[in-house]
Chain A
Amino acid sequence: MVRPWSAGHSASAGQSAGREAAPGTDPFHSAGSSGFDGLVRIDPDGILHIHTGVGNLGTYSYAATSRVAAEVLGYDWERCVIHRGDSSRHLPWNNGQFGSNTSFTMTRTNYVAAMDALTKLKQIAAIRFGGRADDYDVGNETVFHHDISGWRMTYARAAQWAIEMGGPYSGQNLPDDLNEMTRRSAQALAGTGLIGVARDADRHTGTVPALAAGFVEIELDVETGRVEILDYLGVADCGTVLHPQSLATQVRGGAVMGFGMALAERHVYDPRWGLPAAVGLHQAKPPTYLDVPSSMDWDALDVADPQNPVGAKGIGEPLMGCAASALLCAVSDALGGHFFNRTPITTDMIVNAAASRPPAHRALAVNTQ
């Protein structure tokens, strides 16, 4: 739940400490692509196999995006198998999983592949029983005629028919517009079930905007430069929320990375000798668990994106940017409006600014100092 944050803005109260709350700007990132391929297979036992190029960066988005295929076909999730990880598992040509593009892009590919399988299920039923494909519907992993109760078959039976019928139904004939990688994967699976395979050819227009806002409350010790993050709220505009728990982790994890960008992570080189100072994690200084609040709030707008079949779009980088910018704003506020115009703002810079001393760091010649 989004709290009324404006009420939390308090001014400096102590002799040596300023407490400030500040919102971050809304960092934008293009968070979606299109034009990739989807590939699913229903085997003769009726199990749905979803082949995806999405990896796992800890957000489990390979599963969240694959659920779209299960939903289109009305599958019990327990009867679905995801194939991922390397090309020996016959994967389609997919966008990789990096930051913010996965959700939008691969829900679309899984959707078109599942729609292709759905169309083929109805066509097989029409061929076996009669009538038009449009006269059929699906439910409970069965394809059935709208009006004639006996004209129905399970997905397992339809997959067995697909193998017998061959051609496009079992992957012997493939669409011309598939990427070569998808084509080879589908060929490897041909004849083992009902194959749903398609290119996400109905491309989206414009950019897919991912937006995020961060709100942070800090206490800044002007005598030591120490910044304590007291509270944080991150809000994502990522379309329909696919997986709340995973999104919460992304909002918080992105914030931790943003805090590091804002306050600690330094990449320093000796300007004369070109030697790197940060050659280990303890020198690069990403935040640790003990540097961030143990609990951080999150929320999402949950407004469906019109260019995605399930309303999803990505979020990723903006969650870092909003946290970093909120934190930078809070530090500047706590210092009475002092702007450093760079990141990170390290302890030495804060101490110098608070003591009204000239800064030692130079203007953006290097990452810091």
Chain B
Amino acid sequence: MLGDAMTGFELFQPTELDDAMQLLDRFGADAWILAGGYDSLDWFKDRHRRPVAVIDLQGVAALHGIRSSAEGVEIGAMTTLAEIERDSTIRERFGLLADSASRVASPQIRNAATLGGNVCQDTRCWYYRYGVSCYRAGGNTCYAAAPEAMNREHAIFGASRCVAVSPSDVAPALVALDATMLVRSARGERTVPAGDFFMPPSVDITRMTVLEPEDLLVSIRLPASWEGADFYFEKVADRDSWDFALASVAAAFRMQGSLVESARIVCGGVECVPRRLEKVERDLRGQSRTEAIAVAAGARAVEEAEPLGFNAYKVPLTQNLVKRAVLGQ
């Protein structure tokens, strides 16, 4: 690995969305979209990514900002995590997203890192990031799934050749809030539910989202349907700051009296995509959020877990997080 020595590329800094789209169409797979830079620069400096053209979206005003309406809230993909964390509308209406944004990395990073960049970032599997030729990198093995591998941070669910996990702290919150991703390409615009936006390795092992090279994530829409719900977010990491989740939980509950009318519970850091716990959600409908119900929900959440050599602790950890989410404490 040759560190701290990025190769040359052509830098484009469009100010109009149409110009950015034309550049993406022109360069296709040779283009790299630069948002806050916290994923990109590591790749460049380690020379594992050598784009021909880097398209810096910082100057595209249409991609910034938080727009509120009766239907919900639309957040530009280039809005920083710090802006989301501090925005009064987000805090009041969709506190789950504000809470999850506030737990990303460090205050300095959140000042520059963007919502779009956070959900589109590549996995942090240290083998893959080191530059080995694994399945995800186009090779023919998974180093992290080997019997002696150091896989403390890896997946306990949904492994399919690759055992990497989704690193995004806000992704579980977006899935729990039933967000919609607005994607644009030269062919036009389309919307993708957040729950379908993240790519399982069983479908395409080489990318983390459904985005094609010519696609651009323009904004993320939060529908009013989960506005003001009873939210819970918790992230567990080795450090309180500047660390990726070992496991996290994002949950939203609609209550009718003391009973759960509906719920959405999503775990992060345990699968290659944010793991939505639909069975648990179904179990909770019509139930009160008691200790016994919460414990049962936690147990149900980990029924399909298949831990690796060093990550079995994620089973009780996930169990405990789901229990706490149900209890709301």
Q: What is the interface of chain A, defined by CB distance below 8 A to chain B? A: 16, 223-226, 263-264, 266, 268-273, 275-277, 279-280, 282-283, 285, 287-291, 346-349, 351-352, 354-355, 357, 360-361, 369
Residues of B within 8 A of A266 (CB): 238
Please determine whether A224 and B320 come into contact, CB atoms closer than 8 angstroms.
yes
**Can you list 16 A-B contacts (CB < 8 A)?**
A223-B323, A224-B321, A226-B236, A264-B238, A270-B127, A272-B149, A275-B130, A279-B3, A283-B126, A285-B238, A288-B241, A288-B242, A347-B313, A351-B316, A357-B316, A360-B313
Q: Is the C-beta of B293 less than 8 angstroms from some C-beta in chain A? A: no
With A270-B127, A351-B317 known to touch, is A369 a contact of B150 (CB < 8 Å)?
Answer: yes
Contact of B152 among A282, A288, A348 (CB under 8 A): A348
How many Å lie between the Cα of A348 and that of B315 in the bound state? 10
Q: What is the interface of chain B, defined by CB distance below 8 A to chain A? A: 1, 3, 42, 106, 126-127, 130, 132, 143, 146, 148-150, 152, 234, 236-243, 246, 309-314, 316-317, 320-321, 323-324
Residues of B within 8 A of A348 (CB): 152, 246, 310-311, 313-314
How many Å lie between the Cα of A50 and that of B62 in the bound state? 62
How many Å lie between the Cα of A143 and that of B320 in the bound state? 77
Contact of B237 among A273, A347, A354 (CB under 8 A): A347
Please determine whether A269 and B150 come into contact, CB atoms closer than 8 angstroms.
yes
Please determine whether A288 and B239 come into contact, CB atoms closer than 8 angstroms.
yes
How many Å lie between the Cα of A349 and that of B313 in the bound state? 8
How many Å lie between the Cα of A268 and that of B126 in the bound state? 11
How many Å lie between the Cα of A348 and that of B316 in the bound state? 10
- Distance (Å) between the CB of B190 and the closest chain A CB? 35
With A275-B130, A279-B130, A357-B313 known to touch, is A287 a contact of B239 (CB < 8 Å)?
Answer: yes
Q: Classify the secondary structure of B's interface with A.
A: loop
How many Å lie between the Cα of A285 and that of B240 in the bound state? 11
Residues of A within 8 A of B323 (CB): 223
Residues of A within 8 A of B1 (CB): 279
**Besides the known contacts A224-B317, A270-B150, A285-B238, 6 further A-B residue pairs in the complex with CB atoms under 8 A apart:** A16-B320, A264-B238, A266-B238, A279-B130, A347-B246, A369-B150
Residues of A within 8 A of B324 (CB): 223
With A270-B149, A291-B241 known to touch, is A352 a contact of B313 (CB < 8 Å)?
Answer: yes
How many Å lie between the Cα of A270 and that of B126 in the bound state? 10
Closest 8 CB pairs of A and B: A290-B241, A223-B320, A348-B313, A355-B316, A351-B313, A360-B310, A277-B126, A288-B241
Contact of B242 among A268, A276, A282 (CB under 8 A): A282
How many Å lie between the Cα of A351 and that of B152 in the bound state? 12
Please determine whether B240 and A291 come into contact, CB atoms closer than 8 angstroms.
yes
How many Å lie between the Cα of A349 and that of B246 in the bound state? 13
- Distance (Å) between the CB of A140 and the closest chain B CB? 52
Query: Which of B106, B234, B243 is packed against the most chain A CB atoms within 10 Å?
Result: B243
Residues of A within 8 A of B143 (CB): 270, 273, 275
- Distance (Å) between the CB of A279 and the closest chain B CB? 7
Residue in B closest to A271 when the chains form the complex, CB atoms:
B148
Please determine whether B130 and A369 come into contact, CB atoms closer than 8 angstroms.
no
Please determine whether A288 and B146 come into contact, CB atoms closer than 8 angstroms.
no
Residues of A within 8 A of B239 (CB): 264, 285, 287-288, 290-291
Residue in A closest to B106 when the chains form the complex, CB atoms:
A288
Please determine whether B320 and A347 come into contact, CB atoms closer than 8 angstroms.
no
How many Å lie between the Cα of A360 and that of B242 in the bound state? 25
How many Å lie between the Cα of A347 and that of B314 in the bound state? 10
How many Å lie between the Cα of A270 and that of B130 in the bound state? 12
Residue in A closest to B38 when the chains form the complex, CB atoms:
A282
Query: Which of B234, B243, B313, B323 is packed against the most chain A CB atoms within 10 Å?
Result: B313
How many Å lie between the Cα of A120 and that of B243 in the bound state? 61
Residues of B within 8 A of A360 (CB): 152, 309-313
- Distance (Å) between the CB of B297 and the closest chain A CB? 14
How many Å lie between the Cα of A289 and that of B107 in the bound state? 11
Residues of B within 8 A of A369 (CB): 150, 152, 310
Residues of B within 8 A of A273 (CB): 132, 143
- Distance (Å) between the CB of A293 and the closest chain B CB? 12
- Distance (Å) between the CB of B245 and the closest chain A CB? 11
Contact of B238 among A269, A280, A346, A361 (CB under 8 A): A346
Residues of B within 8 A of A351 (CB): 313, 316-317
Residues of A within 8 A of B313 (CB): 225, 347-349, 351-352, 355, 357, 360
How many Å lie between the Cα of A276 and that of B320 in the bound state? 31
Please determine whether B126 and A285 come into contact, CB atoms closer than 8 angstroms.
no
Please determine whether B236 and A285 come into contact, CB atoms closer than 8 angstroms.
no
How many Å lie between the Cα of A290 and that of B132 in the bound state? 33
How many Å lie between the Cα of A352 and that of B311 in the bound state? 10
Please determine whether B236 and A357 come into contact, CB atoms closer than 8 angstroms.
no
How many Å lie between the Cα of A225 and that of B238 in the bound state? 9
How many Å lie between the Cα of A207 and that of B323 in the bound state? 56
